[in-house]
């Protein structure tokens, strides 16, 4: 009969095998993270975390193979999710992305299709089978060694893990805030820890209080009745898609073309996001702050930083007599905007509850319905308005929709190549975005106090196969600013998102 010490020694086999296999799983990461050649502290962090999670799992389940298997399953899920993100957004999984596991449960359509429904089901089935098999075949260590020995072993593992983690996080190498470079230098688990440390070192409340006000224009003596109305539209996944494929019918963007020709400013917007991460462009526009000023908070400013209040175009216009309203035809709680936007200077948030099923265009509220809602706000206004619109119609996953009869004939000059269905669906929605821009401009010009329209794309849409086939690598979007006095041949000038709102204010 095995002694308690022998039984404890047997638990070291799944522990060591799990650590080895965790590095093997990490080799599956895209972009590839070199396991060899890392800083010694990165290995200490990886092994330290593994020991801590193993000790917790062993204390909870009393089965070492099961505890190690759970760790490996968690590691594999993180790698698969990171690879899915990198394939669509060209960025690996980050510490700030853990919040999306909760968002996945609340808004599965926004995320699950990019991972793949079948892979998700397969992973769940494999995990269930693993749990059943191990529970049947592996005996509990509690009966073999007793509670005091098992508790002592778990405590020893946890203590060893804590020491390794402490050693690995003392005086660490600085992060570059380039996710791919940091992933390669620190590994997946190590990058999470280093970004967490960077967050702790940069107190978000203190940082928010020190951020400059980018919108100080000096005193304004104009009466509120003479202030121009302003509408800024962040168009979901909007850009001039003719840069990808030249056979698109000009009617798809006829209003955008006409407004661009009459605009005061127009050009490319050098966004930091590809395919998603809307809030990076959004916060840059609202705050006038470049990503570098936010440090580690640049990846999701709404997660911690923005909720403490930051000077924005909205707060500045509010001081000058404007009523500030955000219109977003989706759940106000998504990205915690219901908490963040009051702190950013908005008086009112109009979310999806203000719309009906009749307003849908595909799975989301259509852009034309959004334009009608904005017109309704202006019809009921008693003073100057600043309306910030965040649209949803163009949001993917586009491959979840179907090409309708007549779409290709209406949207293209020449038939698209095979495999371009997602582009066709995108063009169908893009035409509605174009109609929205035309309606908003007409509405603003018809007001007693005409106003200014600014429209821009937050990022390019997720069309990986289309981009690959066309060789498209330019992730910049497009913007325009047009006022009541139309101009011919408006100045073409490329901007960063943090420069756009100030440009709008100076023109208005």
Residue extents of the structural domains in the chain: 4-201, 230-507
What pLDDT, on a 0 to 100 scale, did the predictor assign at position 94? 95
CA angle 146–150–153, rounded 5-degree value: 150
Q: Give the per-residue pLDDT at 133.
A: 75
Please give the Cα distance from 59 to 63 (Å, whole number). 8
**Distance in angstroms (rounded) separating the CA atoms of residues 368 and 376:** 13
* Whole-angstrom distance, CA of residue 438 vs CA of residue 372: 12
Residue 487: per-residue pLDDT: 66
The confidence score (pLDDT) of residue 104 equals: 67
CATH class name, domain 230-507: alpha beta
* DSSP strands (E only) in 199-356: 229-235, 265-269, 323-327, 348-350
Lookup result for tokens 């179907």: 402
Is-contact 310 208, C-beta < 8 A? yes
pLDDT for the residue 488? 60
**Does a cis peptide bond (omega within 30 degrees of 0) precede residue 397?**
yes
Report the distance separating Cα 188 and Cα 73, nearest Å. Answer: 15
The whole-number pLDDT of residue 31 equals 87
- Predicted local distance difference test score (pLDDT) of residue 130: 74
Instruction: Indicate the burial class of 226 (C-beta count within 10 angstroms; 0-12, 13-18, 19 or more).
Output: exposed
Three-state DSSP class for 482?
Answer: strand
pTM, rounded to two decimals: 0.91
pLDDT in tens, the chain (508 residues): 455 555 677 788 999 999 999 999 999 998 887 777 788 899 999 999 999 999 999 999 889 999 999 899 899 989 988 998 998 899 999 999 888 777 666 767 666 665 666 666 777 777 777 777 776 778 888 777 788 888 999 999 999 999 999 999 999 889 999 999 999 999 999 999 999 999 988 889 899 989 989 887 655 555 566 899 999 999 999 999 999 999 999 999 999 999 999 999 999 999 999 998 999 999 999 999 999 999 999 999 999 999 999 999 999 999 999 999 999 999 999 999 999 999 999 999 999 999 999 999 999 999 999 999 999 999 999 999 999 999 999 998 998 999 999 999 999 999 899 999 999 999 999 999 999 999 999 999 999 888 999 999 999 999 999 999 999 999 999 999 999 876 665 667 899 999 999 999 999 8
Per the CB < 8 A criterion, the answer to whether 86 and 31 are in contact is yes
DSSP 236: T
pLDDT of residue 187: 93
Provide the strand spans (E) within 343-476. Answer: 348-350, 360-361, 364-365, 385-390, 451-457
Interstrand relation of 491-492 and 323-327 (parallel, antiparallel or unpaired): unpaired
Residue located via tokens 């963007």: 253
Q: What are phi and psi of 374, to 5 degrees?
A: -65, -40
To the nearest 10 degrees (0 to 180), the angle between helices 108-115 and 117-137 is 80
CB-neighbour burial class of residue 121 (10 A; exposed 0-12, middle 13-18, buried 19+): exposed
The pLDDT assigned to 399 comes to 87
Residue with tokens 């999701």: 300
Q: Name 98's Cβ contacts closer than 8 Å, sequence gap at least 6.
A: none
> In the prediction, which pLDDT does 329 show?
98
For residue 196, give both structure tokens: 């967490």
């Amino acid at each position: 009969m095995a002694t308690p010490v022998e039984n404890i020694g047997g638990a070291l086999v799944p522990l060591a095998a799990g650590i080895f296999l965790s590095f093997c799983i990490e080799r599956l990461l895209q972009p590839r993270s070199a396991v060899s050649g890392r800083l010694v502290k990165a290995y200490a962090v990886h092994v330290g975390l593994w020991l801590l999670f193993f000790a917790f799992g062993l204390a909870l389940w009393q089965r070492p193979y099961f505890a190690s298997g759970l760790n490996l399953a968690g590691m594999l899920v993180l790698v698969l999710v990171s690879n899915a993100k990198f394939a669509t957004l060209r960025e690996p999984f980050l510490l700030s992305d853990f919040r999306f596991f909760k968002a996945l449960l609340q808004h599965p359509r926004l995320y699950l299709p990019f991972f793949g429904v079948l892979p998700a089901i397969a992973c769940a089935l494999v995990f269930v089978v693993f749990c059943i098999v191990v529970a049947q075949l592996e005996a509990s260590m509690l009966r073999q060694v007793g509670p005091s020995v098992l508790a002592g072993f778990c405590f020893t593992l946890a203590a060893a893990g804590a020491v390794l983690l402490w050693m690995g996080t003392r005086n660490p190498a600085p992060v570059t805030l380039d996710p791919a470079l940091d992933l390669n230098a620190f590994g997946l688990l190590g990058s999470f820890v280093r970004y967490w440390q960077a967050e702790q070192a940069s107190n978000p409340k203190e940082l928010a209080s020190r951020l400059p006000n980018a919108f100080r224009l000096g005193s304004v003596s104009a009466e509120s009745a003479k202030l121009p109305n302003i509408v800024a539209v962040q168009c979901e996944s909007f850009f001039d898609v003719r840069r990808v494929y030249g056979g698109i019918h000009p009617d798809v963007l006829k209003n955008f073309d006409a407004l661009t020709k009459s605009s005061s400013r127009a050009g490319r917007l050098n966004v930091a996001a590809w395919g998603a991460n809307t809030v990076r462009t959004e916060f840059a526009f609202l705050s006038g702050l470049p990503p570098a000023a936010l440090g580690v908070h640049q990846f999701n400013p709404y997660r911690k930083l923005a909720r403490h209040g930051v000077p924005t175009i909205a707060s500045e216009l509010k001081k000058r007599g404007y009523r500030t309203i955000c219109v977003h035809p989706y759940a106000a709680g998504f990205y915690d905007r219901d908490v963040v936007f009051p702190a950013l200077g908005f008086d009112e948030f109009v979310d999806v509850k203000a719309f009906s099923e009749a307003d849908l265009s595909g799975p989301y509220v259509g852009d034309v319905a959004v334009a009608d809602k904005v017109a309704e706000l202006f019809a009921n206004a008693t003073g100057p308005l600043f309306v910030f619109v965040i649209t949803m119609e163009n949001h993917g996953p586009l491959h979840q929709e179907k090409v309708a009869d007549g779409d290709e004939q209406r949207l293209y000059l020449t038939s698209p190549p095979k495999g371009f269905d997602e582009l066709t669906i995108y063009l169908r929605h893009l035409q509605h975005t174009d109609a929205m821009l035309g309606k908003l401009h007409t509405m603003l010009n018809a007001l007693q106090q005409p106003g200014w329209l600014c429209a821009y794309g937050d990022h390019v849409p997720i069309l990986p196969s289309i981009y690959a086939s066309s060789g498209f690598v330019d992730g910049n979007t497009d913007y325009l600013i047009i006022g009541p006095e139309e101009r011919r041949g408006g100045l073409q000038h490329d901007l960063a998102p943090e420069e756009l709102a100030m440009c709008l204010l100076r023109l208005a």
